[in-house]
Amino acid sequence: MSRPRVAVIGAGWAGLAAAVELAGFAELTLFEAGREPGGRARRVREAELALDNGQHILIGAYRECLRLMARVGVDPDAVLLRQPMNWHRHGGLRLHCPPLPAPLHVAWGLLAARGIGWRDKWRLSRALETLKRQGWRLAEDCTVADWLAVHDQSTALVGGFWRPLVLSALNTPLADASMQILANVLKDSLGAARADSDLLLPRHDLSALFPQPAWHWLAGQGAQLRAGCRVRDVAFADGAAWVDGERFDAAIVAVAPHHAGALLDDAALRQRLQLLRYRPICTVYLRFGQSLRLPRVMTGFAGGTADWLFDREALSGERGLVAAVISAPDEAILALPPAQLVARVLDDLRRLQPTLPEPLWSRVLVERRATFAAVAGLARPGTRIGVQCGYLAGDWVDSPYPATLEAAVQSGVNAAHVFKQDWMKQKN
């Protein structure tokens, strides 16, 4: 049986996952608008450094990411630093889950937590227990803020635990964020095996984790890779997909949601996409002339400007390099000139080291549409476009997760499987 010709449009983590999953089954052509693969999780070169377009973290529950990394020849243990859940906020909550079997690791971590009183420990464990007892199921329109109010979470707990957690995981303010999407993340991490809640911190730039190895692996599998090639139109007619006029047996559209509407002539999809709102993420890099070691590779500051600071020297060996992440920054932060934002992050760092000199170099990277807002009641489109031989992939396509690497990779794998099933059915 001849192999189907499949076009994958977009070589972010979703498109690459779809292609890797289809290798051997289909004759693949990948179209990528950028010069390199990786999309919103890729390497950028600045001042002779291999940085990321934004600091990322993964967790142990990212099974599909880890599986596909291994499939293209990457050893996850070599490129990621694995640590038991380690919540360290300078001047605030410090919670470390020891390497005990679940759920003892969380119970012990909570008991031994510092920076909160016994009453708050009790409130937090009772809230998590309630979520678990109700099977991690909530009303779709329930926001995190509403749920926290009903479950009696104090101001200290909201500020020290829930707010940074929700911003890191959902990149959406608590007042709008979906409690169901947060519960899905909690279920698969804190509510699952101990290793699932491990933090996996990149030791290499993001392109080296998956996009670049996947790209080379696909080339080795005979896929046609067209980088620097922006597709203008995807149409479906005569039982085929037409990508800028070229015929394929199917097309998987794996672009970001704000690009999908323009590519596809699909009124229902466009209507859905118009309902999506986007949230920025800001990463501030600072490089000092001396080693600067943070208390933990990922350290937060109670009342700081940055949500988390990452010790890139400890992670990747770049001397004196720190990355500060500000999730869902408000307009006031976005309006600051870069030098002022750097000065505010420096203020955070000087709480640790008061004599810290000015950085030798700094850079502010803002991704305006880093993620869609994971708001309560959000309806995400499914994998099938609605016409035969058209499929969607991307972190925004139907998934229990917020906009994350795992949602992107799962969606790509899913699109590949749905296409394979359709193709086999059609041929039998």
Ligand X SMILES: Cc1cc2nc3c(=O)[nH]c(=O)nc-3n(C[C@H](O)[C@H](O)[C@H](O)COP(=O)(O)OP(=O)(O)OC[C@H]3O[C@@H](n4cnc5c(N)ncnc54)[C@H](O)[C@@H]3O)c2cc1C
Interacting residue ranges for ligand X, rule: CB under 6 A: 9-15, 31-34, 39-41, 54, 56-58, 230-231, 254-256, 259, 263, 281, 283, 367, 370-371, 394-395, 403-406, 408
Close Cβ partners of 210 (under 8 Å, ≥ 6 residues apart):
13, 16, 65, 68, 69, 72, 74
Tell me the β-bridge partners of 278.
372
Q: What is the smallest separation between the CB atom of 139 and ligand X, expressed in angstroms?
A: 25
Q: What is the smallest separation between the CB atom of 352 and ligand X, expressed in angstroms?
A: 22
């800028």: which residue's tokens?
A: 244
Q: Which is nearer to ligand X, 186 or 370 (CB)?
A: 370
Sign of CA dihedral 134, 137, 139, 142: positive
Q: What is the smallest separation between the CB atom of 55 and ligand X, expressed in angstroms?
A: 7
Q: What is the smallest separation between the CB atom of 161 and ligand X, expressed in angstroms?
A: 18
Q: What is the smallest separation between the CB atom of 257 and ligand X, expressed in angstroms?
A: 9
Q: Which is nearer to ligand X, 57 or 145 (CB)?
A: 57
Q: How many residues does the chain have?
A: 428
Angle at 397 between CA 4 and CA 394, to 5 degrees: 65
Q: Which is nearer to ligand X, 11 or 113 (CB)?
A: 11
Q: What is the smallest separation between the CB atom of 152 and ligand X, expressed in angstroms?
A: 30
Q: Rounded to whole angstroms, how far apart are CA atoms 253 and 263?
A: 9
Q: Which is nearer to ligand X, 39 or 191 (CB)?
A: 39
Q: Which is nearer to ligand X, 39 or 304 (CB)?
A: 39
């600067």: which residue's tokens?
A: 292
Close Cβ partners of 285 (under 8 Å, ≥ 6 residues apart):
46, 49, 51, 312, 321, 322, 323, 324, 361, 362, 363, 364, 365
Q: Rounded to whole angstroms, how far apart are CA atoms 164 and 182?
A: 12
Tell me the β-bridge partners of 309.
299, 324
Q: What is the smallest separation between the CB atom of 397 and ligand X, expressed in angstroms?
A: 8
- Nearest Cα to 234, choosing from 12, 15, 9? 9
Angle at 183 between CA 375 and CA 53, to 5 degrees: 60
Q: Which is nearer to ligand X, 214 or 342 (CB)?
A: 214
Phi, psi of 83 (to 5 degrees): -135, 140
Q: Which is nearer to ligand X, 153 or 399 (CB)?
A: 399
Q: What is the smallest separation between the CB atom of 281 and ligand X, expressed in angstroms?
A: 4
Q: Which is nearer to ligand X, 113 or 415 (CB)?
A: 415
